[in-house]
Amino acid sequence: MTRRCEETIVRIYPDDEMKTPMHMSMGQEAVAVGVCRALGNNGDVVASYRSHATYLAQTEDHGSFFGELHGRVNGTADGKSGSMHLADIPKGMLGSTGIVAAGIPVAVGAAFANKQNSPGRIAAAFFGDGATDEGVFWESLNVSCAMGLPMMFVCEDNDLAVHTRKSHRQGFNSLVEVVKKYRCSVYEDDTNDVESIYAMTRSAIAQIIAMGTPAFLNVKTYRYLEPCGTTMDSDAPYRRAEEDAYWKGRDCVALQRARLLANGLAEKDVVAVENEINAAILASVAAAKAAAHPTPQQLYYGVFYEAP
Amino acid sequence: MRRLSFAEAIRECLFQEMERDPSVIVYGIGVPDFKGIFGTTVGLGEKFGPQRCFDTPLSEDIMTGFALGAALKGLRPVHIHIRTDFLLLAMNQLVNMISCHNYMTGGHTPVPIVIRAIIGRGWGQGAQHSKSLFNYFTHIPGLKVVAPATPRDGKGLLAAAIRDNNPVVFLEHRWLHWIEDDVPEESYETPIGVAQTLREGSDLTIVATSWMVIEAVHAAKILAGVGINVEVIDPRTLAPMDMAPIIASVKKTGRLLIADYDWLNSGLSAEIAADVGVACFGRLKQPIERVGFAPTPCPTVRTLENHFYPNAETIVRMAEKMLQRAPMDLSGVDFFSHERRFRGPL
Ligand SMILES: Cc1ncc(C[n+]2csc(CCOP(=O)(O)OP(=O)(O)O)c2C)c(N)n1
């Protein structure tokens, strides 16, 4: 569903009706889907600006998603948030932030509150490998380990921060080895396979609950499109052809589709589900286009809290 | 003379300053990459090598304190942020360390640091990628704050900032990068702390900052069509502010409109108004007026964004109000937008 939503964005973005910068998840969806499915209804998540997959996996709501991207009143925030700040707090999607790493401490605070008020509920921060350059990442890791919080760090490791690779940014060889020195459990995955990420997250959750300490998940993955925008930039100077081919050869959606068929599902049944998803997405896009634009007065609403 | 875009003028200045003075270093997230901060740093890395032009980890805080250490040991760092919002992560180093270091060490310590940051409206940039925060910086003693609005001033003021022995925050609006103007080829300095009068007029003084300079000149042209003569002053430097020409102008026109590219609340515009209120007490024919951002976070959606940002129309309407004129018909006027770029010269 996430992939189809983003394919739809790629197709209709040139119509220029969604005037919001797009940081696309395409290629990386298995991380959000695997982790959010494993959390089930018992997790709170905070995403980076690369928020589409996390938002869709956590809320399964492409209606408000397309409403927001179109800047209409049926969006998550009447168009005020656009693509970068998607949130649905009742569904445990606490927010998405355009400031790299700034959402991580928010998840730590949620973990603290959950520990007191919702035992068994886990807070997860999604962030890129670039975010681990920021001081607040290390402070968040330290605080959660020192306080023993039910917190899950999910590093979506695509090796890139915009166009700069980890090797140019990091003065150590392995983030995972460094994090292992903290009082938390550390997991790694490089399969881009949603079921493997799901299983790993289930173990991490069990460990968080059993030990009362955080977990750190380093999930290797690959971003297909440009850092911000909807075009495939395979020819850009920072790309490497072999790497591109390797990851596109283990596309997470293709892997899962092949698995379903191998497990005995008929092609026509898979196609039927895909068609159903596509039709629902098209209905969401149509609903967004039909929804009203916010009125000028709406600019002034919401600066301070108002009772719903 | 050649025409250069604002972005090209900035880039030329960086090349010339790095050539002139081997102690100048230029760095920041994405600085040497092929997109080079809206094109303003493209080629610097290739020309001057990784010792003098480099990318950094995503670590604004440390890389700001780093500038202070490097400056104390004889380098002249230029640290670049692709959005001013990201500079908030470095406020501790900027405000607690850099701004007062010279003062705390007796007044004779050169602290030659330039912090370049891109401000303002892009295209649906929303609440975390669009701030100006002029007053965050102008509030702090020990920081100079520069916000040029033309390619010529961009080049000259950046050179002056790099050669200055004090920390200078250099704020440039994204849309200015497209503007083209005559820019001298040779290296030159535009003095920090000197305002420029862009248009003379007798009915109303408009003081405008950064992108609002473009909008104010546009508004002045529209108002001239109905016989209203507007004087437009671009302070160019926001701290220290060159108040003398502003005060002289208001004494002449008796009316002041401040068009700030920022929120009004506790802002730079209030500071200018306060100074003019003191200096021109009894000479004002009208209360001082201000236009700026709506008092809300910046929304992403275009329809609301258009109401959030002031433009030439906002200025025209306020000028009409101040001069007790009926609102004119602006239906045929094209205002600047992301799609309808102003390319200059003014
Ligand atoms: C504090 C801050 N600094 C810089 C930026 C500009 N910026 C936006 S995305 C990005 C790269 C982030 O890389 P990573 O965390 O690995 O996430 P990815 O884009 O790969 O998902 C940078 C430097 C920012 N948004 N916030």
Q: Catalytic site residues of B? A: 60, 129
Bridge partner residues of B53 (DSSP): B26
Q: Round to whole Å and give the CA distance between B89 and B94.
A: 10
Collect all residues with Cβ–Cβ distance below 8 Å to A122 and sequence separation of at least 6.
Answer: A39, A42, A43, A44, A111, A114, A150, A151, A152, A205, A208, A209
Instruction: Kindly give the distance from the C-alpha atom of residue A164 to the centroid of ligand 1, in angstroms, as a whole number.
Output: 10
Copy the structure tokens of residue A53.
């997959």
pLDDT at site B345: 86
Which of A133, A162, A219 is the pocket-test mutation for ligand 1 (most atoms within 8 Å of CB)?
Answer: A162
CATH numbers and ranges of domains, chain B: 2-183 (3.40.50.970), 196-341 (3.40.50.920)
Are B68 and B98 in contact by the 8 Å Cβ rule? The answer is yes
With 90 as the cut, is the pLDDT of residue B346 above it?
no
Q: Distance (Å) from the C-alpha of residue A99 to the closest C-alpha of chain B?
A: 7
Interface mutation vs chain B, best among A165, A299, A300, most B CBs within 10 Å? A299
pLDDT of residue B54: 97
Which residues are A8's β-sheet partners? none
Distance B322 CA to ligand 1 centre (A): 45
Flag whether pLDDT at B177 surpasses 90: yes
**Cα–Cα dist A29/A2, whole Å:** 7
Minimal-distance CA residue of chain B relative to A292: B303
Please report the pLDDT score of residue A308 as a whole number.
Answer: 85
**Mind listing the pLDDT tens digit for each residue in B63-92?**
999 999 999 999 999 999 999 999 999 999
State whether B304 and A135 contact (CB < 8 Å).
no
* Cα–Cα dist A228/A107, whole Å: 24
What is the longest distance spanned by two Cα atoms in chain B? Answer: 61
- Asked if A281 reaches chain B (Cβ–Cβ under 8 Å), the answer is no
Nearest to B8 by CA among B16, B112, A164, B198: B16
Where on the phi/psi map is residue B178: left (φ > 0), alpha (ψ -120 to 50), or beta? alpha
Element containing residue B5 per DSSP (H, E): strand B3-5
Q: Whose CA is nearest to atom 12 of ligand 1?
A: A161
Chain B residue with minimal CA distance to A169? B57
- The answer to whether the CB of B86 is under 6 A from ligand 1 is yes
The tokens for B170 are 């250099």
Instruction: Please give the average per-residue pLDDT across B204-218, as a whole number.
Output: 98
- Domain A2-300 class, CATH top level: alpha beta
Give nearest CA residue, ligand 1 atom 19: A161
Walk along chain A (308 residues) and give the pLDDT tens digit of each residue: 999 999 999 999 999 999 999 999 999 999 999 999 999 999 999 999 999 999 999 999 999 999 999 999 999 999 999 999 999 999 999 999 999 999 999 999 999 999 999 999 999 999 999 999 999 999 999 999 999 999 999 999 999 999 999 999 999 999 999 999 999 999 999 999 999 999 999 999 999 999 999 999 999 999 999 999 999 999 999 999 999 999 999 999 999 999 999 999 999 999 999 999 999 999 999 999 999 999 999 999 999 998 88
Q: Which residue has the higher pLDDT, B181 or B122?
A: B181
CA distance B35 to chain A (A): 9
* Band of pLDDT at residue B123, cut at 50, 70 and 90: confident
Query: Tell me: the pLDDT tens digits for B294-328?
Result: 999 999 999 999 999 999 999 999 999 999 999 99
Q: What is the pLDDT of residue A30?
A: 97
Strand intervals (E) in A136-184: 151-157, 160-161, 164-165
User: What is residue B55's predicted lDDT score, i.e. its pLDDT?
Assistant: 97
Return the structure tokens found at B331: 């239906």
Taking alpha carbons only, the member of A194, A190, A222 closest to residue A26 is A222
Residue B58 CB less than 6 A away from ligand 1: yes
Q: pTM for the whole thing? A: 0.94
Contacts of A264 (CB under 8 A, 6+ apart): none
Chain A residue closest in CA terms to B338: A19
Distance from residue B173's CA to the centre of ligand 1 (Å): 21
Helix (H) or strand (E) holding A146: helix A135-147
Q: How does the average pLDDT of chain B come out, rounded?
A: 97
Which chain B residues are closer than 8 Å to A82 by Cβ? 124, 126, 300-301
In chain B, the residue whose alpha carbon lies closest to the alpha carbon of A302 is B296
Q: Is B190 left (phi over 0), alpha (psi -120 to 50) or beta?
A: beta
The three-state secondary structure class of B230 is strand
Tokens of B177: 């990068």
Find the helix or strand (DSSP H, E) in which B84 lies: none
Contact B175, B341 (CB under 8 A): yes
**Whole-number pLDDT of residue B1:** 82
Write a three-state SS string for B119-142. Answer: ECCCCCCCCCCCCCCHHHHHCCCC
* Interval B125-167: pLDDT, tens: 999 999 999 999 999 999 999 999 999 999 999 999 999 999 9
User: How distant is the Cα of B63 from the closest Cα of chain A, in angstroms?
Assistant: 11
- Write out the residues of chain B at the interface with chain A, using a CB-CB cutoff of 8 A: 29-30, 33-35, 55-62, 85-86, 88-89, 122-129, 294-297, 299-304, 307-308
Mutation target among A17, A69, A80 for the B interface, most CBs of B within 10 A: A80
- Tally A–B CB contacts below 8 A: 117
pLDDT at B344 over 90: no
